[in-house]
Chain A
């Protein structure tokens, strides 16, 4: 039996694939931006030692890390409307991705915070910096530098995980592949191309973030 693969039938719909890539990157960008803020805030809260902070933050981190992303997404998209919270597919997707990255990021950033030498904090305090200043100027930059490779990997995992968001009709790359495959009956080819694009995005995003980190995040 011979199998004919017709990739052109899929590539003819390149504007749709491109739009999908745009959505995937857009969702990832927003989720990364907010997710990292959540992660830093939670890591700070968790390292503060105040019980009324550490217990809820710990519960959030463990719940997120020990349940599948797709279930989190379904819960937000299908479950929350029962509480009167009705979110559009892209908003639900971004929310799920943000919460997910926030939880994993918390643990990563916390590992970086714990490696801060105590003397640095004491030195900063002796220079009359406020505790907020100590955190943002003295503790955070080297901590982020230490854990940046791990954060980059996590951001890429979230980007790849966003393929699931097509299941709630967010029009990202895997959704575009799904629509094209339904229209052209070239299902295998459509997913092959989408997979190759994801691979390129993952490699490109890693390079970009490795370049970005030292220049803008913890310069």
Chain B
């Protein structure tokens, strides 16, 4: 029988936590790209895209992430697409992230006074130029803090990938707890590691938020 010391537990969890970070990065970057496309589409053709946009956001914000992961996992297989758990988990988390980011950013763009659109439009700027030179520079400033804050939600969301068998921090914790019969220590370590990853990001988001509001005063 193999004996696990505390260091063995921590070392194995550290190894697993890199998959948490990789998965978070995939979801955040992929979700950011899709979210940005959704947002631009909505700004470009508001009347046409408004309803599908709202439905998309409601669909992902109004259902459990766990169900989304299950549907992606079993759905892809059912339709004959044999992919690794990596792909199905990344797909679900990316779509989930895209819905939240698109909605956050939509709020930031909506916070830009309407006169900015009208003034830039009256200067004969095209839609692309309006976005690039007038709207996005202002919207980005207020979008950074909530975006960084949402990153914490994404990292915590990846913990659910453990349920469909993706080995990341939580799954590794499960496996180690089953071997060592020390669930208290193991899950305390797992929680602590998430905390060590997420807390600095939370602090950063709060710091940025303060700065944003300070500059607006």
Which A residues are within 8 Å of any B CB, using their own CB? 1, 3, 62-63, 65-72, 74-75, 78-83, 156, 160-164, 167, 174, 187-188, 191-192, 194-195, 198-199, 202-203
> Are A68 and B194 closer than 8 Å at their CB atoms?
yes
Residue of A1, A62, A163 near B64 (CB, 8 A) is A163
The B contact surface, by secondary structure, is helix
Contacts of A67 in B (CB 8 A): 156, 191, 194-195, 198
Expressed in whole angstroms, the Cα–Cα distance for A156 and B62 within the complex equals: 8
Contacts of A83 in B (CB 8 A): 184
Chain B: minimal CB distance from A181 (Å): 8
Contacts of A202 in B (CB 8 A): 61-63
Most buried by A among B62, B65, B152: B62
> Are B63 and A71 closer than 8 Å at their CB atoms?
no
Q: Contacts A70-B162, A79-B183, A199-B59 known; A174 to B64 CB distance under 8 Å?
A: yes
Which B residues are within 8 Å of any A CB, using their own CB? 58-59, 61-68, 70-71, 74-75, 78-80, 152, 156-157, 159-160, 162-163, 170, 173-174, 177, 182-184, 186-188, 190-191, 194-195, 198-199, 202
With CB as the reference atom, state the residue of chain A lying closest to B156. A68
Would you list the 10 A-B pairs with minimal beta carbon distance, nearest first? A68-B159, A163-B64, A66-B198, A78-B183, A82-B184, A202-B62, A79-B184, A68-B156, A75-B187, A195-B67
> Are A160 and B79 closer than 8 Å at their CB atoms?
no
Expressed in whole angstroms, the Cα–Cα distance for A164 and B156 within the complex equals: 13
Q: Contacts A67-B195, A68-B156, A72-B191 known; A198 to B62 CB distance under 8 Å?
A: yes
> Are A79 and B188 closer than 8 Å at their CB atoms?
yes
Chain B: minimal CB distance from A165 (Å): 10
Expressed in whole angstroms, the Cα–Cα distance for A95 and B13 within the complex equals: 26
Residue of A74, A81, A82, A163 near B174 (CB, 8 A) is A74
> Are A3 and B78 closer than 8 Å at their CB atoms?
yes
> Are B71 and A1 closer than 8 Å at their CB atoms?
no
Q: Contacts A3-B78, A80-B184, A202-B62 known; A163 to B67 CB distance under 8 Å?
A: yes
Expressed in whole angstroms, the Cα–Cα distance for A61 and B194 within the complex equals: 14
Contacts of B184 in A (CB 8 A): 75, 78-80, 82-83
Residue of A63, A70, A187 near B74 (CB, 8 A) is A187
> Are B194 and A66 closer than 8 Å at their CB atoms?
yes
Residue of B58, B71, B163 near A192 (CB, 8 A) is B71
Expressed in whole angstroms, the Cα–Cα distance for A163 and B160 within the complex equals: 10
Expressed in whole angstroms, the Cα–Cα distance for A65 and B78 within the complex equals: 36
29 A-B pairs (CB sep. < 8 Å): A62-B199, A63-B191, A65-B152, A66-B152, A66-B202, A67-B156, A67-B191, A67-B195, A68-B159, A69-B156, A69-B159, A71-B187, A72-B191, A74-B183, A75-B191, A79-B184, A80-B184, A81-B183, A160-B63, A160-B65, A163-B64, A188-B75, A188-B78, A191-B67, A195-B63, A198-B64, A199-B62, A202-B62, A203-B58
